Amino acid sequence: MSDFLKENSKKDGITVTDSGLQYKILLEGSGMQPAATDTVTVHYEGTLPDGSVFDSSYARGEEISFGLNQVIAGWTEGLQLMKEGSKYKFFIPSKLGYGERGAGGMIGPHQDLVFKVELIRIS
């Protein structure tokens, strides 16, 4: 576990799953919870631990839909904890993200990731 995740796990409101995924509930919804095989529609912002934004559906002004089993493991696990209408913050260890390969220009190898995710609907 990285120093960032070790320190983060000690903060109030942080829950750590068996896999090492950390999350904080920002807003608890009351809708249905998705299964790994569902398609979900979300708004999100992805940052590095230092706060540098690498992707944001908010900035693009449009929600995104995808199969929950077609994304990084941290998202597949984390979104299944959420109910429609919820907003969570995920702290994703590298092994549940892009691992040793990284992704794109900003996400290097073994990079932890932070996402604010709003689950809008399950379809």
Active site residue 12: no
Q: What is the pTM of this model?
A: 0.95
Active site residue 90: no
In Å, how far from its chain's centre is CA 83?
A: 14
Q: Which regions of 7-123 does DSSP assign to beta strands (E)?
A: 15-16, 22-27, 39-47, 53-56, 64-67, 87-92, 113-122
Which of 4, 14, 38, 72 is the catalytic position? Answer: 72
Domains delineated in the chain = 3-122 (3.10.50.40)
Mean pLDDT in residue range 117-123:
97
Per-residue pLDDT tens for 50-69? Answer: 999 999 999 999 999 999 99
Active site residue 115: yes
Active site residue 25: no
